[in-house]
Structure 1
Amino acid sequence: MSNISTAIDALLQARLRQLPEVQNESERWHTLGEHLAELDDALADLRAHTTMDAELVTSLTLPQLTEIQLAVGQAADSFRVIASRFTRTTVNIGVSGAARMGKSTLLQSVSGLDDNQIPTGHGIPVTAVRSRIFHSPTVRRAELEMHSPESFLAAVISPLHAALDLSPAPRTVAEFRDWVYPEVLPDTRHRVLLTRLRELQSALMSYEPLLTGGVKTVPLEEVRPFVAYPTHEEISKAGERVGRAYAAVREARIECAFPHEHVARIGIVDLPGLGEVVADAERRHVAGLRNEVDAVLVVKRSSDTSSFFDETDTAGLGLLDEVRGFVRSTGEFAYLVHNTDPDKLHLAENLRGDLLRNVNGGEPDRFFTVFETDVRDPERVGREVLGPLLKRMAEGLPVMDAEVLAGTRTQASSVRDRTRLQLTDLRRALDQVARRAGVPEEVNEAKAAQLRSTIARRLRVLVGELAAEAHGSVLDQGFGEAVEKAYEDVLGWIQDGFGKGADTWKEEALTCMITEGHAAAFAGPEFSRIRVEISRRFAALDDFFTARLTAAWDRTAALLAAECGALFKDEGSRQEDSASGSDDATATATPSARSGRDVLAELAELFASSSQPCPGLASAVNSLLDVRLEYRTLLYPRVRPDLAPLNLQVTHPDTGEQMQQVAVPLTAEGAEHLHELFNSLAEQAAFRIQRSLSQEAAVPAVVIHALVEQFEDTLIRSGTSVMEFRRFVRSYRNDLWPAEFKGIDEANSRFARVLRVTQDISKALEEGQR
C-alpha cells in the first residue's frame, strides 16, 4: 500500500473515532427539538385554561419559539450530516465544470469508463444526471435511484414552470401529459427552457413507467440513456419522440475498477449542469452535497472561445462555496484543472496567464491550485492531477473536518444562547402567573404538613404492629411451618439414598472403595455433596422470607395509597375523576391487580420526576424496595456449624485432635455400614439445623420491623423531609385533594408540565455544552 493510500485510510479511521460524539450531538439536538414542541403544546394548554386573563395569556406567548424550533431542527440535521460525512468509507471528489470544458473526458480518464457510461460531446451538454462513481476491483454495475411521480414533478417540472412563470405547476403526471404549453416565448432563455419542458412532455411515454421511486440496477453497457441527453443523431432519427429515460433518474451510483493507484477508498461525484440553461440546474445538482464531497475539481479548457476565466466560471465557484460550508479555505476545497490541448499551445498559454493574473492575483496557486493536464490522457491525469490532489487531501482533510465540526458547533452555540434567552423570558412569565393566580404558599405548606403528619401517624401504627410481631411471646407460626417443611424434605431425601436410592448409593460406594483401595475416596466427595444439598434444601425458606417481605411492602403501600389521592390510579381513572369532579380522596386503596411493590415503585418515580423533584423521599422508598431477605445471608451463618460433622476429617471431642471418622472394610458389609453411618450423620445434622432455625423464629420479623422503622424515620425525619413534602404537594396538589382546589389550581398539572418541560430543555442545553 502506498503512502497516500495509508494516509487516506488513517484519516477515514480518525473520522470514525469522532463519530460517536457527533451522533450524540445530533441526538441531543433532536431531543431538544422534541422538548420545544412539547413546550409549545404545554404553553397553549396553559393559556387556554379558563382562569387565565388576557395579560397572563400574552406573557405566556413566546414570539420566537417557532423560529428557534426551526433553528434547533437545523442544528440536529447539521450534526446528522456530519455523522454521515464521518461514516463514509471513501474520500469523495466532485468533478465540475461548464459544458464543453472536458469534464466528462476527465471522468473517463479517472474511472476508466467510456462514452457508453460517461458520454462526451461537442457543442451540447451531454450529462443529465448526477453520478457517483466508486472504485471496485470486482463489481461493474450501475444502481439508479429513480424518481417517484411526486419527486419528478417537484424536482424537474415545477422548477421549469417557476422559471417560465407558468403557474400553477402540474400536480399529477396525467396533468403534465395533458398540459397545453405555448408554442414560443419572446425571451431567448425562456425559449430554451420551454423547449426542454416540451421535450420532456413529448417523451413522457418513454420514461413514465420508470417513475417507480425505487432502485434500478443496469449493466454499465446499458447505462448511457439513463444518465445522458440523447445525441443529435438520436434526435434526428426519432424527433420529439426520442427516449429520455434520464428524466426518471434522481441519481446514479456506478461501480467499476479505476485504472490508477491510490484509489481503493476514492469516490468520484459527477456534477452536471454548471453553465446550463436548464431551470436552476446548478443549484439542483449541488443540492445536498455539503459534507458529501471532500474536494471539487473544476475543469476549464483553453479553446478559441474560452481562453479566459469568465463570469460563468466565477459564478460556478461561488455556487461551490455553498458545498464548502464551514471549510475556511476555498483553495483547500476547490481545485482548478486546466485542460490543455498539445496542438494548441498558444491557447493554453492565454488561459494560463489569465488564471495567474485574474484568479490567483499574479502568484501561482495563491488562491486556487491549478493542475494542468490533457484530460484525454489517463496516464497524465493520474500523474498530474489525481496523485497531487490525493496527497493534498491526505494532509488537509483532517483540518477541514475540524473546521466543519467547529463551525457547526459555533452555529449550534448561537441557537443554544437564543434558546436560553427565551427560557429566561418564560421563567419570568411563569413567576408572574404563580404570583397572580396561584394558591398562596402558606396553603401549600399547611397541606404538606398535614400530609406528612398523617403519613407519619399511619407509619407509626404499622411500625408498632411490626414491633409486636417481632418481640411478642408467640413465635411466628408460619416460620416454624416453613422450617418443618424443609426439614421433612431433607429427611425424605436422605432416606431415598441421598437422592440416588439406597441400593445404588451402596453399589457406587463399594465400587469406588475397591477401585481406589480405601473408603475415603468415596466418603470425602460424598460428605461434601450431602453437606451442600442439605444446606440448599433448607434454602427453600427463601419463599417464606419473600412472602413476609412482600406482605410488609403491601401493608406500607396500602397506608401510603390511602393518603395520596388519585396518584395510584391508572391514567384513565385520573381523567375520569377530573371530568366528573370526583372528590373521593379515600378511594385510593392499592388496586387489587397491583402489588405493593409496584405501588411503592410508582411512588418513588412520582417523587423523583415531579416538577419539583424530591430525591430524599424517592431514596427512602427505593431503599425499602432494595432489600432481599434470604436464608443464605440471614440465617445460614448461624446454622453453618451444625454441618461441621459432615466431613471426612473432624475434631475429636475429647482430645481436640483431627481424626478421620470413616474406616470400613472394602466389602458389601462395609458399604452397608458406611450407608448407615452417613444416614445417621446426615439426619443428626438436619435435626440440629432444624432446632437452630426454630430458635431463630423471631429473626425475620425483627428484620422487617427494622426495615420499616428505618423507612419511616428516613421518610418523615430526614433533613430534607419537610422541604420535599412541600415540593411534592406543589407538584401533585390537584391529584392529592381534587375537591379542594378549583380555579387556576385546577390547571396546576398544566403549569407543572410547563415547568417540567423547561427543566428538560435546560438540562438538554447544559448536556450539550459539556
Structure 2
Amino acid sequence: MADIQNQINSVIQKRREQLPLIEVRIQQAKDVENALNEMNSALVNLGNHPKATDQLRVYLRDFQQNQFRQWIASSLDQLMNAQARLLRETINIGVSGQARVGKSTLLQTIAGLTEEQVPTGTGIPVTAVRSRLRHSTTYSRAILTLHTFETFRDQILEPYHKELKLSSCPATLADFQSFNYSEQNILSDNTQHSSIVLLERLRKMQKALPSYSADLTGETREVSLEGLRSWVAYPTNEEEKNPNCPRRYLAVRDVLIECRFQATDVENLTVIDLPGLGELDASAEEHHVAGLKNEVDLVLLVKRPVEGLAFWKAEDGKAADILDQARGAIKQRRDFVIIVVNGDPNSELFKVLLDDITRQANEGTADKHYRVLQCNAKDSSNVRSSLLVPCLEHLAQRLTIMDRQVIESAKSEWLTTIQRIQGALKDLRDGLKRQTPDSFSSAEEFDKLVEKLRKELVVSLEEEIVLKLFQKARNPEEEDTKLIQTIRNTSNQIKKWVEEEGFGIGKEKWIRDAYETMMRDKSVVRFALEECNRIRVHISETYSRIDNYLDTKVQELWSEISCIIYKNTGQLLEGTQDGKESLEKFVEFLKNGNEQCPSLQKAVKDLLSLNISYRSHFHPRVREKLDSLNYDEMVHNLKRENKLDEKELFKTMSDLAIQASYETEKALLSETLIPSLILHAAAEQFEDSLIRSGESEREFKRLGRSYRDEIWPSTFRDMDAQNARVAKVNRVIDKLEKILIISN
C-alpha cells in the first residue's frame, strides 16, 4: 500500500495549503456580521430622529428586512465545514447503516479490537457512544471526552423533551433529578408507541443518574482499552434486569480509540462508528447528518443479507436521503458513499440483496449511483483486500476532487452572499442621497471652517509673535534689558567671589594654601596654573546661569504659541496648562486621531525641541575672553614668579580673574540679540511648517475630521443632528463595502 500511502499524504498536504484561503473568508464573514450589527444600530438611531421622513424610514426598513443573518450563517456553515475538512490530520471513513448489520464486527476486524472496546450483539442496539478508531503504531488507549451537565442537557435531554413535547428541559442537575417523569398524564392517551419508549428511556436515565453524575465534568480522560465496554455500550439484557442498572455511557460525549489496525497499515487513517440509522433515539438523524458532514471523507453504508432484510427497504432509501444531505457540495453520490454488503457471497440471500440494490439504488446499472463492495466483516484478510484497499484507492484518486468541490461551493456561497449585501448597500446609499440632501451641507461648512482655522492661526502667529520677534531681532537698539541685567548681575557675583570670598575658599586660607604649596614646590607656577584653571571654569559656569533666563524665554514662546492654538481650537485643549504641556497634548491629538497628521506633528515637535543655552550659543563667542587665565598668559604675567610672594600672587590672580570676567561680560553684552534671533527663527519656521507646507491643508482637514466636535462644538451641535446620524450610516456602509471588496 506504499503508493496509496504516498497519495494520501499528498492529499493531506494539499489540504493544508488551501486552509489559509478558507480561514481568511471565515474571518471576513465574521467581520461583515459585526459591521451589520453596527449598521443596524446606526439605522435604528437614524430612523428614530424626529426629522426622518416616512420615505427615509421605508428605505431603512427595506434594508433591515434583508435576511443578512441567514445568508451569513449559511455561508459560515459551509466555510467552517470546509475548514474542518482541511484541518483533518487523518483520512476519515465513517461506518453507517441500520442496527445489527455487522458494523461493530467490521470495526473490530479493521482495528483488531474485542467486545470490550467495540461491543456487538443481537436483537437490540449495543453501541451507545460514537467511537473514533485511529490507526496508531505508538498508542493503545482510549481517550474519553465527557459531558458537562450543560452539554448532556443540550445534546441528550433537550431532544427528548422536544420530541415528547414536555415542559421546559431541566436547567440543572438537581432539576433533572427531581423532574417528575412518572406523572400519569405526562403523555396524551393517543401518544404513539415510539414516544412511550422515549419516555421510558428518560426515566431510566434519571434513575441511573447516581452512576454517571460524578463523571459529568467535561474533562478529557485517558483509560485503558480493557474494561472500556461500560463507557461505550448499552446494558445487556441481563444487566437491564437490575433495577439500579448503571449507565455510565451517558456521561461520554465522544471516545477516541488509538491502536494498531490489523486490516491495514496505512497511516493517517481514522474509522468512525456513526450512530445506527433507524435507532429509536431523539434527534438521531440530525446528529447523524452533522457527524457525516463535519467529520468524514467517505461513508460505508453497511447492508447485511438476512432473512426478511435481503432487499433495499424504505429505511435504506431514507438513509440514502440522509447521506445526500451530508454529502452537501460533493457532486457524485458514488464519491461520498460506498454500499458495503456484509456476509457470505455464496449465499442466495447475498445475491438477492445485490440484485435488489442494483435495481433500486442504482436504477438497474451496477455502480451507477453507488459503488457496491462485498466483504465478510469477520475475515480480516477479506476486509483488507475487498474493502479497505478499494476504499483507500478511491480516496487517493477522488478526495482532492471532493475537497475542491466543497471549497468552491463554500466560496461560491460566500460570493453570492457578498453580492446580495452589496446590492442592499447600494439601494440604501441611493435612498440616503435622495432623502437626506441637507446632510451634504456639513461637508461644505467643514471645509470653510478648516480654512478659517488656518487663516486665524497664521494671522495670530504673525501679528502676536513673529512680527514682534522680528522687530527685536533686527533692531540693534531694541535691547533685552532683562538679559543685560542678568549678565551684569553675574559679573558682580564673580567680582564678589574673587574679592570678598577669596576665590570661594576665603582670602586668608587661599594665601596660606599658596604659601605652603610654593614652599613645597620651590615655585609658584604649579599652584598658579591650577588656580587659573579653576577660576576659568568657575567664571564660565557662573555665566552659564543665564540659562535659567534663556529657558524662560523659550517657555514664554511656547506659552504664547499654545495660547493661540488653544484659542482657535475650541474645546480640544481644554484642561491643559499653557506652554509645553498644552503643545505636547496637541502632538498627542495629531498622532492619535482617526487620521494622523505627521507634518503637523513634526512642526510642533521641532518647536518643542528648541533650546537656547549659554554653552551652545554664547560660550563659543566669549571663550577667547578667558584666555588671560590660560597657561601662557599666566607665565607672561608671572615671569618673576620665584620672587613673588603669596600675597602678591593673590592680588595678581584677582586682577586676572576680574579682568577675564569683565571681558566676558562685554562680549556677552554685545551678543544680547542672539536669543531674539533664535526665537524669531523658531517662531517663523513653526509658522511656515504649520501653515505653508505642502501637507498643511490636507492635514488640517484630517485634524478637523478627527476632532470636529471638539474644535467646533457649537457649530456642529447646532446643525441638524440628522447629519451626524446619516454620516454614521455612511461610515458603516463604507466599512462594509471595504470588507466586501477585499472578500471578493
TM-score normalised over the length of structure 1: 0.70
1:383 partnered with 2:385: yes
Q: Deviations over 1:556-585 (max 9, x none)?
A: 7765454332345xxxxxxxxxxxxxxxxx
Partner SS state of residue 566, structure 1: coil
- Corresponding letter in the other structure for 2:148: S
- Shift of the alpha carbon at 1:158? 2.2
- Residue pair 1:112, 1:258 contacting (<8 A) in 2 also: yes
Q: Deviations over 1:567-617 (max 9, x none)?
A: 45xxxxxxxxxxxxxxxxxx47678896745633533553628xxxxxxxx
Aligned counterpart in structure 2 of residue 290 of structure 1, from 289, 293, 314: 293
Distance change in 2, residues 1:358/1:60 (3 Å): closer
Residue number in structure 1 paired with 2:224: 219
Larger Rg: 2
- Corresponding letter in the other structure for 1:421: G
Distance change in 2, residues 1:589/1:472 (3 Å): farther
- Corresponding letter in the other structure for 1:230: P
Distance change in 2, residues 1:729/1:138 (3 Å): closer
Alignment of 1:124-523 (within 5 A): 124-177=124-177, 178-181=179-182, 187-236=192-241, 238=242, 240-287=243-290, 289-341=292-344, 345-432=347-434, 434-436=436-438, 443-458=445-460
Aligned equivalents of 1:161 and 1:11: distance in 2? 43
Mark the runs of 5 or more structure 2 residues left unpaired by the alignment.
484-551, 610-673
- Shift of the alpha carbon at 1:373? 0.5
Aligned counterpart in structure 1 of residue 589 of structure 2, from 596, 602, 625: 602
Partner SS state of residue 303, structure 1: coil
Q: Deviations over 1:195-221 (max 9, x none)?
A: 322322232222222222322332221
Residue number in structure 1 paired with 2:612: none
Partner SS state of residue 393, structure 1: helix
- Corresponding letter in the other structure for 1:188: H
Distance change in 2, residues 1:8/1:299 (3 Å): same
Residue number in structure 2 paired with 1:110: 110
Distance change in 2, residues 1:320/1:468 (3 Å): farther
Aligned equivalents of 2:402 and 2:342: distance in 1? 27
Partner SS state of residue 295, structure 2: coil
Partner SS state of residue 261, structure 2: coil
- Residue pair 2:94, 2:271 contacting (<8 A) in 1 also: yes
Distance change in 2, residues 1:440/1:744 (3 Å): closer
- Residue pair 1:79, 1:408 contacting (<8 A) in 2 also: yes
Aligned equivalents of 2:101 and 2:159: distance in 1? 26
- Corresponding letter in the other structure for 1:286: V
Residue number in structure 1 paired with 2:715: 740
- Corresponding letter in the other structure for 1:226: W
Give the length in aligned residue pairs. Answer: 604
Aligned equivalents of 2:4 and 2:683: distance in 1? 71
TM-score normalised over the length of structure 2: 0.72
- Residue pair 1:558, 1:590 contacting (<8 A) in 2 also: no
1:712 partnered with 2:691: yes
Q: Which range moved further: 273-282 or 192-201?
A: 192-201
Partner SS state of residue 268, structure 1: strand
- Corresponding letter in the other structure for 2:106: L
- Residue pair 2:590, 2:598 contacting (<8 A) in 1 also: no
Partner SS state of residue 360, structure 1: coil
Aligned equivalents of 1:628 and 1:372: distance in 2? 88
- Shift of the alpha carbon at 1:360? 1.8
Q: Which range moved further: 69-78 or 291-300?
A: 69-78
- Residue pair 1:460, 1:712 contacting (<8 A) in 2 also: no
Q: Deviations over 1:608-641 (max 9, x none)?
A: 28xxxxxxxx4643665898999xxxxxxxxxxx
Aligned equivalents of 1:469 and 1:96: distance in 2? 97
Distance change in 2, residues 1:347/1:49 (3 Å): same
Partner SS state of residue 693, structure 2: helix
Aligned equivalents of 1:226 and 1:330: distance in 2? 35
- Corresponding letter in the other structure for 2:570: G
Aligned equivalents of 1:45 and 1:144: distance in 2? 50
Distance change in 2, residues 1:182/1:706 (3 Å): same
- Shift of the alpha carbon at 1:745? 3.3
Residue number in structure 1 paired with 2:27: 27
Partner SS state of residue 720, structure 2: helix
- Corresponding letter in the other structure for 2:711: L
Partner SS state of residue 210, structure 2: helix
Alignment of 1:721-740 (within 5 A): 725=701, 733-740=708-715
- Residue pair 2:562, 2:579 contacting (<8 A) in 1 also: no
Partner SS state of residue 729, structure 2: helix
Aligned counterpart in structure 2 of residue 762 of structure 1, from 728, 737, 741: 737
Q: Deviations over 1:638-675 (max 9, x none)?
A: xxxxxxxxxxxxxxxxxxxxxxxxxxxxxxxxxxxxxx
Aligned equivalents of 2:58 and 2:151: distance in 1? 42
Distance change in 2, residues 1:227/1:440 (3 Å): closer
Aligned equivalents of 1:47 and 1:159: distance in 2? 41
Aligned equivalents of 1:592 and 1:55: distance in 2? 53
Q: Deviations over 1:56-97 (max 9, x none)?
A: 445434554673134324434543443332222111111111
Aligned equivalents of 1:324 and 1:553: distance in 2? 73
- Shift of the alpha carbon at 1:404? 0.9
- Residue pair 1:438, 1:744 contacting (<8 A) in 2 also: no
Distance change in 2, residues 1:716/1:370 (3 Å): closer
Residue number in structure 2 paired with 1:100: 100
Mark the runs of 5 or more structure 1 residues left unpaired by the alignment.
478-546, 569-586, 610-617, 631-695
- Shift of the alpha carbon at 1:138? 2.0
Q: Deviations over 1:669-696 (max 9, x none)?
A: xxxxxxxxxxxxxxxxxxxxxxxxxxx9
Aligned equivalents of 2:553 and 2:38: distance in 1? 44
- Corresponding letter in the other structure for 1:296: V
Aligned equivalents of 1:79 and 1:553: distance in 2? 58
Cα root mean square deviation, aligned = 3.9
Aligned equivalents of 2:607 and 2:382: distance in 1? 78
Partner SS state of residue 370, structure 2: coil
Residue number in structure 2 paired with 1:60: 60
Partner SS state of residue 309, structure 1: coil
- Residue pair 1:553, 1:597 contacting (<8 A) in 2 also: no
Partner SS state of residue 363, structure 1: coil
- Corresponding letter in the other structure for 1:760: K
Partner SS state of residue 33, structure 1: helix
- Shift of the alpha carbon at 1:764? 0.4
- Shift of the alpha carbon at 1:290? 2.2
Partner SS state of residue 221, structure 1: coil
Aligned equivalents of 2:563 and 2:20: distance in 1? 46
Q: Deviations over 1:285-306 (max 9, x none)?
A: 3325424211111111111121
- Shift of the alpha carbon at 1:707? 7.2
Partner SS state of residue 565, structure 1: coil
- Residue pair 2:594, 2:706 contacting (<8 A) in 1 also: no
Q: Which range moved further: 408-417 or 320-329?
A: 320-329
Distance change in 2, residues 1:61/1:555 (3 Å): farther
Partner SS state of residue 383, structure 1: helix
Distance change in 2, residues 1:738/1:327 (3 Å): same
Aligned equivalents of 1:397 and 1:567: distance in 2? 62
- Residue pair 2:555, 2:580 contacting (<8 A) in 1 also: no
Distance change in 2, residues 1:608/1:347 (3 Å): same
Q: Deviations over 1:340-392 (max 9, x none)?
A: 225x6111111111122222223222211111100111221111111111111
- Shift of the alpha carbon at 1:126? 0.9
Partner SS state of residue 269, structure 1: strand
- Shift of the alpha carbon at 1:554? 9.2
- Shift of the alpha carbon at 1:434? 3.3
Distance change in 2, residues 1:562/1:707 (3 Å): closer
Distance change in 2, residues 1:365/1:589 (3 Å): same
Residue number in structure 1 paired with 2:518: none
